[in-house]
Structure formats: structure tokens, C-alpha cells
Amino acid sequence: MIAFENVAYSYSGGELLSDVSLHLAPGSFHFLTGPSGSGKSTFLKLAYAELRPTSGRVTLFDRDVTSLTRDDIARTRRRIGIVHQDCKFLDHLSLSANMALPFTVSDRESDPRDLDELLSWVGLRHLADSLPPQLSGGERQRAALARAVIVDPDVIMADEPTGNVDWEMSLRILTLLVELNRMGKTIVVATHDLNLIRQAKAQVPARVLRIAKRRVQLAGADL
Amino acid sequence: MKPPAAKPATPRTRAIRVVPPSGPTAWLTSFTAAAMTFLCVFALSLSLASDRLANRWSEALARTATIRLSAPAEQVALQTEAILATLASTPGIKSFRAIDDAETRALLEPWFGPDLPIEDLPIPKLFEVIEDVPGYDSEGLRQRLTAEAPGAVLDDHTRWRRPLAEAAARIRLLGLLSIALIGATMAAMITLAARAALATNAEVIRVLRLVGAKDSYIARAFVRRFTLRAFSGATIGAVAGLAGVFALPAADAAGGFLTGLGFTGLSWFWPAALPPIAAIVAFFATRRAAFQKLKELT
């Protein structure tokens, strides 16, 4: 589904990731961990084609990302739900309009009942008409997750989805991700929260990718 | 939880909302379009007026020529014969005639009064030549006349017509150049405004790209907005410009140049065409700016 072959990525300052080779199978649940600045976000950006590798090959849905046009990338993003670290909403639109945005930008309209159902699932139904700046950190994260899944993507990538929320809310978000994985979605979560990873391992067969010394390695079961 | 079903949206209303309203800067685009169109109406009216003037002068003077014969008395009859024979054998002349003494007197009367003893004066003999379509070769005719009737001078009015027609053509050219410059300035200003709007909304664009919006979708939201602003601004400018033209004194038949500024007949079409043209200019300027800017963002 998503494959990296000898991928390296360097900023002007130097190499951030090198020699990354891995394959994310459909229906798998992966955690991506490592210290701040180790390249977790960069890894995810490579995986949703926001960045292109400086060497090696990234394949998304059996297509080499370097061969994708901007429109191809747009179409690919409709198959990938992204929960961004800082959520990224349009602050002038209501929560429900933001949730429906992936439909709006592909010139489709979401069924209001389904939107309601999705808002109830993340527990934000009562806030449907609020503007994003009025929401708390946890509410924003859950809304971002709901927006990521609204178009029924094959893959969901979340960058520090529990970064700004308390432990209770972290568990709620994790539960939502686990539910999605049980529905067959491929999940990739970047986090530095090891407790969260342990908690998840109790619920799903999650695998852990650790970034250390510019390499991405599959961590053992000893976490 | 199941994924929501999707049905086609009405993209018209959707595309606008995703870009936040831009407040007072929106007026600048409309104002620019209005001011430019206002100026354009005058440039147009100047061009059209000089065009009409050039045509009027050319038509009135181009169709006719005069031959003037000044010769010693005993030669007049002989050279008159020669001139008439030459004209008769020149292709491209529709008709010609010698102007008789009574008519010559009538022509001179406004200057010299009715009691002019024309017989006693060395008044040249005049011939009127009316050109056919296509016309005659005036240089050839001139040379033949010099050979056949040395006292004959062909005056095809080129002397009068050329500088006037040239002046009118130059004014028309200046008018057209002004219109082109006004159009280019408007395109430049709208490009700058669009680039500013795109830069201000870089974060919005990033969000839209993140959720799978194509460049064309994002560009549409901006292009639509700027096209409508340019159109509404240009409409106001065109109406104001036309009101200004109406306020000018009416053109009389004598058609002085300044009073001839205005629109007649089909030329009314041009000011009416300005708002759509402004909209088209805005459309392409914004589209170009949008796609250029979008390429800079991932």
C-alpha cells in the first residue's frame, strides 16, 4: 500500500532520514516513534506526498510519488486521511463545514445524517455549528480525526494526535483509531507517548517503527 | 460507524465559501477596474472620433481632383482639348468635365463679389475629375498632362488630405495604445491583488491541499471572486464614462473634432463590451497568478 525503498531525505542543513526501506500492509497498525526533531513528521509527509524523497523511491498505492502530478497527489490525498499535528481547520467555517471539507473540495456533498453520525462518534455533535477556534485541544483533535475519515480513506495518518490533550482524551482518541483499524483501515500514528503505544498494544497487534540515527527500524516486542 | 455517502454538490456556491471574505482590499480591485474602464471609455471615444474624422476627410477629398490650366490666352483652347483628350484616355476616371465660366464666377463670388469682370482676368480654367473604383494613377496622369498640356496642374488634394489623415491615424493609434496600456495595467493590478490574496490565504490553501483539493478547485475560488469584482467595477466605470461622454456638447454637422467625441451607431457596442473584456482580463490574470502561486506550495 505504502512502500519506501532506500529512501533518504535531506534538508539543506543535512540528511534527516536515510536508507529507509519498509512496507505498510493494508489493515496494519503502525506507531512511529522517536525523539522530537528525529523526522517523524517528515516521514509522514513523505508518506502522503507532501515531500518528495531526495533519493530512493516512495510508492503510494502502487505508484511512484515522483511520477505523480499535482492533481494525482490531490486524488491520492482523498484516499489518505491526515490528522495533522495542529489540526488545520478553516477558521471561518463551522465545524460541520470543516468536517465536510474533503467532500466539498471534490465537488461532492456529504449526507447530513452521515455527518451527524460521524460527529456523534467523536462526541462533538453538540458543537457542529461552532467555529474551530472555539474548540478545546481535544475537541479539535477528534474533529480532525472525524474529518480524516469522512471520505472513507484506505489509510489514516496521524501526527501526534494526542500531543495537546490529557490522558483520558488520549485514550478516547486511541479507541477511535483502534475502531477504525478493526474496520480494515491502515493506521500510522506518529507519537512520542510510549504509554499510549503500550495501551494500544493491549488492544490491537500494533507494530512500532522507531526513528534513531536517521534510520527507521522496526522495534522489538520489548517496548 | 459507516462512511457517509456522497452526492454531487453544487460547486458554484461551494468554491466561494472555502476562501474567507477578504474585507476592504476587495474594494481596491473593483475600484481599479472602475477607474480603468472609465479612462478606457474616453480613449475609445477619442479613437473612434479620430477614425470617423479621418474617414470623413478621406472620403470627401479622395473621390475628386481638380486640374488647373494657366496658359497664355491663345493656348487655352488648344490645351483644353489636350487635357480633355488625355482624361478621356485615362483608365480609372469615372467622369470629368470642364468647369465653365459661369460656374467659375459662382465659385469666386463669395470672395470677389458678383460684379467681377472675369473675362478680363487671367483666371485659370478648371476641370473637375471624379475618380472611379479603383482609381487612376495620379503620378502617371500628372506626367502625361505635363507632356500634352504644359500649363495644366493636377491637384488631387493629396496635399491637404495626407497630413490630416496622418494626424487622425496617429491620434487613433495613440488611443488604441492607451486602451492597450489601460488593459495591461488592469491585468497587472489584478495580478498583484490576486497574488496578495493568495499569499494571505496560504494557510487556507495548505488545508485545502491537505484534504485533497486540486489546484483547479482552489484557483476557481479566487478566479471567480476577482472576475466578479472586475466585472462589477468595470460596469460602474463604463456607466460613469458614458455619462461623461453624454455630458459633452452634441456633435453638429460641421463636426468639429472636439464636439465629435462620442459614440454613434454600432460603436455603442464598444463601451458595452468593456465590462466583459475586463472580466476576461481578470479571469486570465487571476488564473495565471493562482496557478503560479499554487506551484510554490505543496
Look at residue B42 and tell me if it is in a domain: yes
How far apart CA B151 and CA B75 sit, in angstroms, is 9
Chain A closest CA to B33's CA: distance in Å?
28
* pLDDT (0 to 100) of residue B17: 77
pLDDT per residue as tens digits for the range B200-249: 888 899 999 999 999 999 999 889 999 999 999 999 999 999 998 888 76
Look at residue B155 and tell me if it is in a domain: no
How far apart CA B241 and CA B238 sit, in angstroms, is 5
* pLDDT (0 to 100) of residue B5: 45
Pair (B107, B190) in one structural domain: no
Residue with cell 490645351: B79
Chain A residues near residue B290 by CB distance under 8 angstroms? none
Look at residue B214 and tell me if it is in a domain: yes
**Which residue of chain B comes nearest to A112, CA vs CA?**
B4
pLDDT per residue as tens digits for the range B187-201: 999 999 988 888 888
How far apart CA B152 and CA B20 sit, in angstroms, is 81
Chain A closest CA to B54's CA: distance in Å?
54
Look at residue B65 and tell me if it is in a domain: no
> Are B4 and A109 in contact (CB < 8 Å)?
no
* pLDDT (0 to 100) of residue B1: 46
Nearest to B8 among A75, A77, A107 (CB): A107
Nearest to A108 among B9, B21, B213 (CB): B9
Closest CA to A212 of A31, A22, A33, A57: A33
Helix A70-77 and helix B202-210, axial crossing angle in degrees, nearest 10: 60
Q: Which of A19-28, B104-113, B250-259 has the lowest mean pLDDT?
A: B250-259
B11 pLDDT more than 60: no
CATH topology for the A2-218 domain: Rossmann fold (3.40.50)
Pair (B198, B51) in one structural domain: yes
Chain A residues near residue B203 by CB distance under 8 angstroms? 88
Neighbours of B212 (CB within 10 A): 24
Pair (B263, B292) in one structural domain: yes
The number of C-alpha atoms within 13 Å of A122 and in the hemisphere containing its C-beta is 30
pLDDT per residue as tens digits for the range B65-94: 888 888 887 888 888 888 888 888 888 888
Chain B closest CA to A220's CA: distance in Å?
33
Domain end residue (candidates: B120, B150, B180): B150
> Are A70 and B295 in contact (CB < 8 Å)?
yes
Chain B residues near residue A107 by CB distance under 8 angstroms? 8-9, 11, 14, 217
Pair (B33, B169) in one structural domain: yes
DSSP output for B164-185: HHHHHHHHHHHHHHHHHHHHHH
Pair (B276, B170) in one structural domain: yes
Residue with cell 534527516: A16
* pLDDT (0 to 100) of residue B100: 83
Pair (B177, B54) in one structural domain: yes
Domain end residue (candidates: B150, B175, B191): B150
B interface mutation test: which of A79, A90, A118, A181 has the most B CBs within 10 A?
A90
Look at residue B30 and tell me if it is in a domain: yes
DSSP output for chain A: -EEEEEEEEEETTEEEEEEEEEEE-TT-EEEEE-STTSSHHHHHHHHTTSS--SEEEEEETTEEGGG--HHHHHHHHTTEEEE-TT----TTS-HHHHHTHHHHTTTEEE-HHHHHHHHHHTT-GGGTTS-GGGS-HHHHHHHHHHHHHTT--SEEEEESTTTTS-HHHHHHHHHHHHHHHHTT-EEEEE---HHHHHHHHTTS--EEEEEETTEEEE--TT-
Pair (B174, B273) in one structural domain: yes
Pair (B252, B124) in one structural domain: no
3-class SS at B275? Answer: helix
The residues with which B155 forms a beta bridge, in sequence order, are B66
Residue B196 belongs to domain spanning: 13-58+165-296
Number of domains in chain B: 2
> Are A107 and B9 in contact (CB < 8 Å)?
yes
How far apart CA B230 and CA B31 sit, in angstroms, is 8
Instruction: State the burial class of residue B111 (Cβ atoms within 10 Å of its Cβ: 0-12, 13-18, 19+).
Output: exposed
pLDDT in tens, chain A (223 residues): 899 999 999 988 788 898 999 999 999 999 999 888 888 999 999 999 989 999 999 999 999 999 999 999 999 999 999 998 888 899 999 999 999 899 888 877 777 888 888 898 888 999 999 999 999 988 998 899 999 988 889 999 999 988 878 898 889 889 989 999 999 999 999 998 889 999 998 888 899 999 988 888 888 654 4
Closest CA to B277 of B184, B178, B161, B165: B184
Look at residue B66 and tell me if it is in a domain: no
Pairing of the two strands A63-64 and A215-218: unpaired
How far apart CA A207 and CA B28 sit, in angstroms, is 56
Exposure letters A192-215 (e unless 16+ CB within 10 A, then b): bbeebbebbbeebebbbbbbeebe
Backbone angles phi, psi at A138, to 5 degrees: -65, -40
The residues with which B125 forms a beta bridge, in sequence order, are B69
Chain B residues near residue A114 by CB distance under 8 angstroms? 2-5
Integer angstrom CA distances of residue A146 from A96, A98, A180, B4, B193: 10, 10, 11, 11, 35
**Which residue of chain A comes nearest to B211, CA vs CA?**
A102
Instruction: State the burial class of residue A189 (Cβ atoms within 10 Å of its Cβ: 0-12, 13-18, 19+).
Output: buried
The residues with which A64 forms a beta bridge, in sequence order, are A59
Pair (B85, B46) in one structural domain: no
Domain end residue (candidates: B103, B118, B150): B150
Look at residue B8 and tell me if it is in a domain: no
Look at residue B1 and tell me if it is in a domain: no
**Which residue of chain A comes nearest to B204, CA vs CA?**
A90
> Are A106 and B212 in contact (CB < 8 Å)?
yes
Pair (B251, B110) in one structural domain: no
> Are A71 and B214 in contact (CB < 8 Å)?
yes
**Which residue of chain B comes nearest to A87, CA vs CA?**
B207
**Which residue of chain B comes nearest to A88, CA vs CA?**
B207
Say whether the ipTM exceeds 0.90. no
